[in-house]
């Protein structure tokens, strides 16, 4: 008897030592966040560190008190704080109590166990927390489905994690916004509904050095996953699932954030798969599957004459299938600021409606989208778009207009570069449309993009179409 116990203890000790060694081998993920300048490709940072796998396989509720100091992680299981996980009971309080505990401990694992469904109200999980917190979502977190009883203090958010540093969010679980009643109440679905915003399912705000991986986010009330006011975040293995007709359900939305990488994500939804808006710099996306959805977008920017700035965006290796747009930059008329240093490369389009589009006449509102023409446009400001490269873009366009550079007359696009493009249409030809778009193409480019070859010094309206009279430039609602 005694012999077998000491044997067990030896095995356990061995295990702990092994785990600690493995973890030590994993690089500090902070180091891998350092981005090279400008728009270099993502290099060598796609492989995951070993240490996270240990957490995933080594943790389960079967070992609730693994407390070997130093090497060990301290699980803080929401069940230990009274969460029921039957999909119906309100587990909000249990989550908050567990969060308070996990946040106060070094090396804690905030654990949402698998095979359960936890109903949680709009909740803010605030930091700062102690070191090395892991948020392990292995089960399902589900939102209450009734918009009418939604917490009026948090009309636009559901789960918010804020002021965190060096945290990992992972676990293979599901975040389910129960969005269908919100969608039905949207003014985009039924014009008689008032236009009100709905909650974003998962928000990470004012945080840094984050790692978010291996989660499914589905049926969001509105946006699925927002990263705002944050820096140095690596996001990978995120799946977004919502129907193609769900309104405003962007997949991943980046706002006012710097040095963000998004890799190996599969997004199917009713709005942009990824949208990058104001104040975002150095955003890298790699291996993205998008569809259904509205494509991968920079913008919209410049709404209500605001200033919008986005620089340093790279998309490398993406497949877009059946989306309404492919690679899109969208700005409102009358805005200011700029979009600069963007590269889209190695992209496959499958039956995409607007595979390549710059739309400086964007609008998306309930009030009539009136073009600010004909009399005002010559004075209208715009977000300046420059240094945008499209390289190795292949596949099929659903519409003839495979490439559309609808730039502002007053602030033309410049340095648009096309290389190795082949966009065809199953039953017809494709074409390139330009308005005030300056740049050049080289290598194989189909459809031909001669309309880009305009000398900027000559002024754009001499060589190209002019927005004042072109019905194709009427404010587009996509």
Q: Which pairs with CB-CB distance under 8 Å and at least 24 residues apart come from 113-116? A: 113/60, 113/61, 113/77, 113/78, 113/79, 113/85, 113/138, 113/139, 114/60, 114/138, 114/139, 114/172, 114/173, 115/139, 116/79, 116/85, 116/86, 116/87, 116/140
132 scored as a contact of ligand NAG (CB under 6 A): no
Q: How far is the CB of 335 from ligand NAG (least distance, A)?
A: 8
From the list 309, 347, 352, 383, which residue makes contact with ligand NAG (rule: CB under 6 A)? 309
Q: Number of residues in contact with ligand NAG, rule: CB under 6 A?
A: 19
Let me know if 25 is exposed, middle or buried by CB neighbors in 10 A (0-12, 13-18, 19+): exposed
124 scored as a contact of ligand NAG (CB under 6 A): no
For 23-68, the DSSP string reads HHHSPPTTGGGPPPSTTPPP-S--SPPHHHHHHHHH--TTSTT---
From the list 71, 307, 348, 389, which residue makes contact with ligand NAG (rule: CB under 6 A)? 307
Q: Which helix (H) or strand (E) holds 239?
A: strand 231-241
Q: How far is the CB of 130 from ligand NAG (least distance, A)?
A: 25
Nearer to ligand NAG by Cβ, of 144 and 166: the residue is 144
Instruction: Kindly report the number of other CB atoms within 10 A of residue 452's CB atom.
Output: 21
Q: How far is the CB of 359 from ligand NAG (least distance, A)?
A: 18
306 scored as a contact of ligand NAG (CB under 6 A): yes
Q: How far is the CB of 14 from ligand NAG (least distance, A)?
A: 44
Instruction: Kindly report the number of other CB atoms within 10 A of residue 111's CB atom.
Output: 28
Verify whether residue 224 is a known catalytic residue. no
Nearer to ligand NAG by Cβ, of 17 and 190: the residue is 190
Q: How far is the CB of 125 from ligand NAG (least distance, A)?
A: 14
Nearer to ligand NAG by Cβ, of 121 and 219: the residue is 121
Nearer to ligand NAG by Cβ, of 28 and 88: the residue is 88
180 scored as a contact of ligand NAG (CB under 6 A): no
Residue located via tokens 């959805």: 293
Angle at alpha carbon of residue 239, lines to 238 and 241, rounded to 5°: 150
92 scored as a contact of ligand NAG (CB under 6 A): yes
- Any bridge partners for residue 239, and if so which? 216, 266
Round to whole Å and give the CA distance between 290 and 309: 24
Q: Which of residues 184-203 bind ligand NAG (CB under 6 A)?
A: 190, 192
Q: How far is the CB of 240 from ligand NAG (least distance, A)?
A: 25
121 scored as a contact of ligand NAG (CB under 6 A): yes
From the list 179, 279, 326, 334, which residue makes contact with ligand NAG (rule: CB under 6 A)? 279
Q: How many residues comprise the chain?
A: 478
Q: How far is the CB of 300 from ligand NAG (least distance, A)?
A: 11
Round to whole Å and give the CA distance between 247 and 189: 7
Q: How far is the CB of 478 from ligand NAG (least distance, A)?
A: 20
Nearer to ligand NAG by Cβ, of 75 and 279: the residue is 279
Q: Which stretch binds ligand NAG (CB under 6 A): 240-248, 302-310, 312-320, 408-416?
A: 302-310
From the list 278, 404, 464, 476, which residue makes contact with ligand NAG (rule: CB under 6 A)? 278
Let me know if 7 is exposed, middle or buried by CB neighbors in 10 A (0-12, 13-18, 19+): exposed
Q: Which of residues 370-409 bind ligand NAG (CB under 6 A)?
A: none
Nearer to ligand NAG by Cβ, of 93 and 446: the residue is 93
Whether residue 232 contacts residue 208, with contact meaning beta carbons closer than 8 Å, is answered with yes
From the list 90, 145, 165, 364, which residue makes contact with ligand NAG (rule: CB under 6 A)? 90
DSSP classification of residue 171: S
Q: Which stretch binds ligand NAG (CB under 6 A): 3-11, 22-30, 86-94, 342-350?
A: 86-94
60 scored as a contact of ligand NAG (CB under 6 A): no
117 scored as a contact of ligand NAG (CB under 6 A): no
From the list 5, 153, 194, 426, which residue makes contact with ligand NAG (rule: CB under 6 A)? 426
159 scored as a contact of ligand NAG (CB under 6 A): no
Whether residue 347 contacts residue 316, with contact meaning beta carbons closer than 8 Å, is answered with no
Q: How far is the CB of 404 from ligand NAG (least distance, A)?
A: 19
Whether residue 433 contacts residue 405, with contact meaning beta carbons closer than 8 Å, is answered with yes
Nearer to ligand NAG by Cβ, of 114 and 364: the residue is 364
Whether residue 128 contacts residue 163, with contact meaning beta carbons closer than 8 Å, is answered with yes
Round to whole Å and give the CA distance between 414 and 340: 10
Instruction: Kindly report the number of other CB atoms within 10 A of residue 370's CB atom.
Output: 10
Scanning 140-236, the segments in alpha helix (DSSP H) are 180-184
Q: Which helix (H) or strand (E) holds 135?
A: strand 134-137
Catalytic residue among 294, 330, 343, 398: 294
Q: Which stretch binds ligand NAG (CB under 6 A): 124-132, 233-241, 300-308, 352-360?
A: 300-308
Q: Kindly list the catalytic residues.
A: 294
Contact positions vs ligand NAG (CB under 6 A): 90, 92-93, 121, 144, 149, 190, 192, 278-279, 306-309, 426-427, 466, 468-469
């Amino acid at each position: 008897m005694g012999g077998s116990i000491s044997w067990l203890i030896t095995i356990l000790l061995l295990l702990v030592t092994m785990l600690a060694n493995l973890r030590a081998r994993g690089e500090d993920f902070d180091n891998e966040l350092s981005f090279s300048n400008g728009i270099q490709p993502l290099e060598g940072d796609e492989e995951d560190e070993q240490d996270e796998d240990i957490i995933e396989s080594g943790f389960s509720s079967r070992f609730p008190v693994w407390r070997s100091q130093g090497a060990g992680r301290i699980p803080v299981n929401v069940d230990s704080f009274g969460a029921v996980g039957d999909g119906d009971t309100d587990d909000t309080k249990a989550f908050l109590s567990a969060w308070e505990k996990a946040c106060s401990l070094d090396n804690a694992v905030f654990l949402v166990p698998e095979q359960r469904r936890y109903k949680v109200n709009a909740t803010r999980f605030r930091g700062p927390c102690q070191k090395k917190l892991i948020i392990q979502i292995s089960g399902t977190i589900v939102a209450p489905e009734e918009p009418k009883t939604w917490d009026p203090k948090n009309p636009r958010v559901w789960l918010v994690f804020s002021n965190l540093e060096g945290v990992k969010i992972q676990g293979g679980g599901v975040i389910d916004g129960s969005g269908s009643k919100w969608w039905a109440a949207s003014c985009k679905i039924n014009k008689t509904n008032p236009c009100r915003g709905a909650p974003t399912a998962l928000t990470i705000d004012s945080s840094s050095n984050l790692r978010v991986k291996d989660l499914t986010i589905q049926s969001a009330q509105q946006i699925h996953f927002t990263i705002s006011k944050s820096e140095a975040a690596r996001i990978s293995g995120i799946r977004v699932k919502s129907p193609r007709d769900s309104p405003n359900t962007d997949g991943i939305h980046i706002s006012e954030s710097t040095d963000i990488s998004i890799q190996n994500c599969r997004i199917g939804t009713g709005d942009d798969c990824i949208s990058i808006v104001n104040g975002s710099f150095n955003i890298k996306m790699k291996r993205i599957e998008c569809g259904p959805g509205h494509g991968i977008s920079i913008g919209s920017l410049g709404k209500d004459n605001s200033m919008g700035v986005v620089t340093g965006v790279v998309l490398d290796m993406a497949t877009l299938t059946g989306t309404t747009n492919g690679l899109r930059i969208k700005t409102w008329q009358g805005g200011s600021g700029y979009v600069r240093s963007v590269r889209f490369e190695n992209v496959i389009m499958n039956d995409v409606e607007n595979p390549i589009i710059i739309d400086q006449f964007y609008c998306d509102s309930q009030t009539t989208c009136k073009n600010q023409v004909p009399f005002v446009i010559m004075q209208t400001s715009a977000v300046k778009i420059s240094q945008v490269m499209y390289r190795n873009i292949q596949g099929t366009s659903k519409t003839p207009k495979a490439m559309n550079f609808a730039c502002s007359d007053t602030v033309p696009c410049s340095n648009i570069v096309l290389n190795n493009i082949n966009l065809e249409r199953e039953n017809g030809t494709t074409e390139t449309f330009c308005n005030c778009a300056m740049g050049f193409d080289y290598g194989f480019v189909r459809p031909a993009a001669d309309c880009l070859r305009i000398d900027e010094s000559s002024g754009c309206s001499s060589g190209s179409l002019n927005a004042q009279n072109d019905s194709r430039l009427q404010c587009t609602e996509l």
